[in-house]
Amino acid sequence: MSETSSPVVGGTTAAGRTDEVELRLPADGAYASVLRTLTAGLAARLDFTIDDIEDLRIAVSEAAAMVLDEADEGALLRCRFLLGGDRMELTITADAAQPSAPDYESFGWQVLATLADEAAIDATAGHYSVRLLVRSSLSS
């Protein structure tokens, strides 16, 4: 697992391109189900297995919870997906004036590190984001 950020490189859809999808929601846990549903739908579009999709839903829930804990009141939760071939990269970000340092010992981080091929946290003044890269188990 890498704790650094990198874009999808060389990943393409069946049409030969990398697709980008972006979703903006109020930074409120009540909208987490919308994010999980969209993530599952996008993964299904990439022909991820049922098990991959369920793992991804769990990982997205943990990532969103980490970001929501740091988000400023009234902030937007921005979710960016890069879809290419057998891989999905997603970044969940919210404005956070004074984000806490990442806790790499937390249960949430352990879940992300286990379920994602790559995971990273960016806790810079002004925002907090979690990035995940997940590949279909069929690509292994």
CA 6/CA 37 separation, integer angstroms = 25
The amino acid present at 3, given as its one-letter code, is E
pTM score = 0.86
What residue ranges do the domains of the chain occupy? 19-139
- Closest by CA to 35, choosing from 120, 92, 110, is 92
pLDDT digits (tens, 9 = 90+) for 53-112: 999 999 999 999 999 999 999 999 999 999 998 999 999 999 999 999 999 999 999 999
| Confidence grade of residue 15 (pLDDT, cut at 50, 70, 90) | low
Task: Work out the pLDDT band at 16, boundaries 50, 70, 90.
Answer: low
Q: Say which CATH topology domain 19-139 has.
A: Heat Shock Protein 90 (3.30.565)
Four-point Cα dihedral 31, 1, 49, 80, nearest 10? 40
